[in-house]
Every structure is written in C-alpha cells, then in structure tokens.
C-alpha cells in the first residue's frame, strides 16, 4: 500500500500490452514486478487494453481491496 500523509492507500500494479507478449516478448520481468507488488502488500496483474483481457479483473480486485481497507477502519 502507498502511504500518503501516513495513510495507507490500496493499489495494484498493472502491466499492460499482454496481447503483445507472444509477438514481442516482455520488457519487464514478471517475477520482479510480482515480487515488488507482494512486498508492498499488493498484487501484479497483466492486462490488455486491446483485447480487454484481465481489465475487468484488475478493477474488481482493486475495488475489493478498497472496500476491505475502508471496512477495516
């Protein structure tokens, strides 16, 4: 979670252009980004704006994290 003025804010790390991975390969190592997200109490999701793959799932996961964060207060 990001801390802004001592308040933790839920977030997820999103990698876009998933539709190009097979054609172009990756620019960023999946494991490095995933490990970073986990150290920040978050997750990494890869999406494709072109195909829509995992876009809805990313928003749903972020929403779940926000609701959980708010309900814990």
Count of domains for the chain: 1
* Strand ranges for 1-73 from DSSP E: 2-4, 7-9, 13-15, 44-46
> What per-residue confidence (pLDDT) applies to 22?
76
Residue numbers of the domain that contains 29: 2-66
Percentage of the residues of the chain whose pLDDT score is greater than 70: 90
Is 72 among the domain residues?
A: no
Q: Model-level pTM?
A: 0.77
Is 11 among the domain residues?
A: yes
* CATH code at position 28: 3.40.50.300
Tokens 């999406």 sit on residue:
47
Is 10 among the domain residues?
A: yes
Mean pLDDT, residues 14-20 = 89
pLDDT in tens, 27-40: 788 899 999 999 99
Answer whether residue 72 shows pLDDT above 70.
yes
Determine the Cα–Cα distance for residues 59 and 66; give it in Å rounded to an integer: 10
> What per-residue confidence (pLDDT) applies to 2?
57
């Amino acid at each position: 979670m990001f801390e802004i003025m001592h308040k933790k804010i839920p977030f997820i790390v999103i990698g876009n252009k998933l539709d190009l991975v097979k054609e172009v390969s990756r620019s960023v190592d999946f494991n490095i980004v995933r490990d970073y997200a986990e150290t920040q109490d978050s997750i990494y999701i890869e999406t494709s704006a072109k195909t829509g793959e995992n876009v809805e799932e990313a928003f749903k996961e972020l929403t779940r994290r926000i609701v959980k964060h708010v309900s814990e207060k």
